[in-house]
Amino acid sequence: GKKGPEISLGMRSRTGLKGQPASQEDKCYLCKNQYEELEDRTGDIEEKLGEIFAQTQQLGMEIERKRSEIRELEEAIAKGDSEKAVLENDIRHNGLSIARLEGELANAGLDAETLKLQIGDKERELSEGGASLAALKSRLESAEQRLEDQRGQTAKVTDELLPFTAKKTALSDAGN
Beta carbons of 59 and 171 less than 8 angstroms apart: yes
One pLDDT digit (tens) per residue for the chain, 176 residues: 444 444 444 444 444 445 455 689 999 999 999 999 999 999 999 999 999 999 999 999 999 999 999 999 999 999 999 999 999 999 899 889 888 887 776 775 555 567 678 788 888 888 887 778 888 888 888 888 988 988 888 888 888 888 888 888 888 887 76
pLDDT value at position 138? 87
Q: What is the dihedral of CA 16, 18, 21, 22, to 10 degrees?
A: -100
pLDDT value at position 73? 92
For residues 66 and 161, give the distance between their C-alpha atoms in angstroms, rounded to a whole number.
Answer: 6
pLDDT value at position 130? 77
For residues 129 and 173, give the distance between their C-alpha atoms in angstroms, rounded to a whole number.
Answer: 65
Cα–Cα distances (Å) from 159 to 22, 66, 92, 167, in that order, read 66, 10, 38, 14
